[in-house]
Structure 1
């Protein structure tokens, strides 16, 4: 017996319409629609044709319902530019990511959650929420040396996205009291880290039913990310009174942010006038800093997934083991950790790499 929700999830993940899938399988669009609604029972041969057309394992379509996400549950970094097809594909990726982590949790003891509730509608503004979270995590006001490593250590489940578009650059959600964060490596490393802190703001401030809260919530998450990465006290201590483009390009590396983000933070804190800020942005744009980050920082990687894969490699297993375990195509598993790993090491160095780091504990 097939699962219609699985069929719909796989189709949406591949970003094709029911009509297009029907043409690929030489079926009628009505048949696909009825199969997705579980109004018709499909024979194995039909599911084989659909599985082949979508590039999914046959067994995927026989599993129980996938984790379901809704627009109210998910925070998207750039919802206004996103098409419905892109949004549905991201929802499907989110569900697959939850299943991938559930697989990991059965084998490994992952870090416990340590993320306080800092709702923006309570006593916290975005700025004070960022200060409070830094205090809770005992970070002081210094720059954070490894942002993704910190988030993972605090129990946030981080995965990547294979979407080759800036329209889906990051999103996050809570499911079963577990926070998930998905990051697209399409942008620069600096902007990727800002996206991660933006999503952290949503997870901390908008947990209770307001993840999809529109422009106000997005502005709050942006303000949180700016304050979390660039604490006011540290800015005041290291930014000189006279600020020019050389100062921006030198100090942006201290906080691992884009040049534009640092300039905006300085304007926000009253250290630049509106005219000075506009002038600096024009200069930065001419140098290519509006859409990219020339001579940027190295991209941060996932400690959790690096260690999981190192453990698999030590047993002569690969990402295919994950794909087979959760009945996903290998390209989907690869997409969920793309951009979160350093370039793969030669096989004879993988075990040594694993032993060089504290390994995740296996679940007994």
Structure 2
């Protein structure tokens, strides 16, 4: 039967209002509402137009009920700046990615989550403190009951045995700890990233239209939400500030910055030294001020220079974008088995381009072609090992 939930998901994925979709389908807005409520089923010709307009195969609308991401369960960095259509499109992309994720889970053994709860709200035990500290840190002088983001970042580095070294690949690190990472590919500056827990698994979704440094910070920011706010509301300015502080401390450990940062901070010096941590000049400028290495006047002066140079939108001497190593291994294993991208798309009932947008462009880069008639072969589950 025609699945009303899948129809609603497809409409929201494309960021369409009911009236807009009705006009494109040459039906009434009441009919579209009827399709979503289950009170009405589209006729054959209308179904074909639905599939073409929403860019989903017809078979997609006849699958099982999908799991849907609700707005109040996801952490959005710029929720106040987003339109409802942009938010729905991002959440719709996440729900579609979950279908792909479930398909991969049935065929591959992926890393199990190792993402500790470092938020005080949950009352769970914290990992051992770093550097042999025996006493618990002082309460965070911010949101009541909140964990100090700086201390939490140090705890997580200790828990994951990262030391003080720069994190070479944030996406690979998250994946190695069982975080499922997908790309959004939404060309809207208001949509940065979001994260959530679903079925005991942590998910992070990154907008790949941002600079590589921006994406790395977004990944660390969302990790902050995952470890600090498991038992808190997913949104709010206080939580965003805590996730920002966590990301800054995780990517640029205090002792590392104290030892290596320029003693006479200038914009050219920031551009030179930011490469060590693979962060933006703006992020390094903020971190230097946060740990007391620059005055308020120096920090503000550098902020102005960064903005005037256009470095808030175009990063100087930028690094290469990171991509998913787990997804690359999945597609490589499928290619070795002779599975084409068309076969994968047919089994999940999602178009190849849609899957490619969710997988950092890896589907088209790794999997070969093949006609729509290619059938996926049954095979035993494959295990992906950390590499």
Does residue 210 of the first structure (1) align with residue 236 of the second (2)?
A: no
**1:306-341 CA deviation, whole Å, 9 max, x = no partner?**
1111122223433333321211122211110136x4
Q: Contact conserved, 2:335 with 2:366, CA < 8 A, in 1?
A: no
Distance 1:146 1:162 in 2: 19
What secondary structure, in the 3-state scheme, does the structure 2 residue paired with 1:182 have? Answer: strand
Distance 2:267 2:284 in 1: 11
The alpha carbon displacement at 1:172 in A equals 0.7
**Normalising by the residue count of structure 2, what TM-score does the alignment of the two structures yield?**
0.85
Does residue 117 of the first structure (1) align with residue 138 of the second (2)?
A: no
Distance 1:296 1:305 in 2: 24
**1:236-255 CA deviation, whole Å, 9 max, x = no partner?**
11124322223211110111
254-263 vs 123-132, greater mean Cα deviation: 123-132
Could you say if the C-alpha distance between residues 311 and 34 of structure 1 is closer, same or farther in structure 2, counting changes exceeding 3 Å?
same
11-20 vs 226-235, greater mean Cα deviation: 11-20
242-251 vs 176-185, greater mean Cα deviation: 242-251
Correspondence 1:67-146 to 2 at 5 A: 67-121=67-121, 124-146=147-169
Does residue 195 of the first structure (1) align with residue 221 of the second (2)?
A: no
Count of matched residue pairs:
350
What secondary structure, in the 3-state scheme, does the structure 2 residue paired with 1:72 have? Answer: helix
Specify the alignment match of 2:356 in structure 1. 334
Distance 2:367 2:71 in 1: 42
The alpha carbon displacement at 1:209 in A equals 4.5
Specify the alignment match of 1:265 in structure 2. 287
Could you say if the C-alpha distance between residues 205 and 97 of structure 1 is closer, same or farther in structure 2, counting changes exceeding 3 Å?
same
318-327 vs 83-92, greater mean Cα deviation: 318-327
328-337 vs 151-160, greater mean Cα deviation: 328-337
Specify the alignment match of 1:159 in structure 2. 182
Specify the alignment match of 1:171 in structure 2. 194
Correspondence 1:6-85 to 2 at 5 A: 6-85=6-85
Specify the alignment match of 2:255 in structure 1. 233
**1:196-223 CA deviation, whole Å, 9 max, x = no partner?**
0000001111112421x21111111000
The alpha carbon displacement at 1:43 in A equals 4.0
Q: Which ranges of structure 1 fall in alignment gaps of 5 or more residues?
A: 348-359
Counterpart pick for 1:249 among 257, 271, 282:
271
**1:20-65 CA deviation, whole Å, 9 max, x = no partner?**
2222222111011011011223444432332222221111111122
Q: Contact conserved, 2:4 with 2:37, CA < 8 A, in 1?
A: yes
What secondary structure, in the 3-state scheme, does the structure 2 residue paired with 1:131 have? Answer: helix
Q: Contact conserved, 1:181 with 1:199, CA < 8 A, in 2?
A: yes
The alpha carbon displacement at 1:120 in A equals 5.0
Q: Contact conserved, 1:301 with 1:342, CA < 8 A, in 2?
A: no
Q: Contact conserved, 2:110 with 2:178, CA < 8 A, in 1?
A: yes
The alpha carbon displacement at 1:183 in A equals 0.5
**Normalising by the residue count of structure 1, what TM-score does the alignment of the two structures yield?**
0.91
Specify the alignment match of 1:353 in structure 2. none
Distance 1:345 1:124 in 2: 42
Does residue 286 of the first structure (1) align with residue 308 of the second (2)?
A: yes
The alpha carbon displacement at 1:229 in A equals 0.3
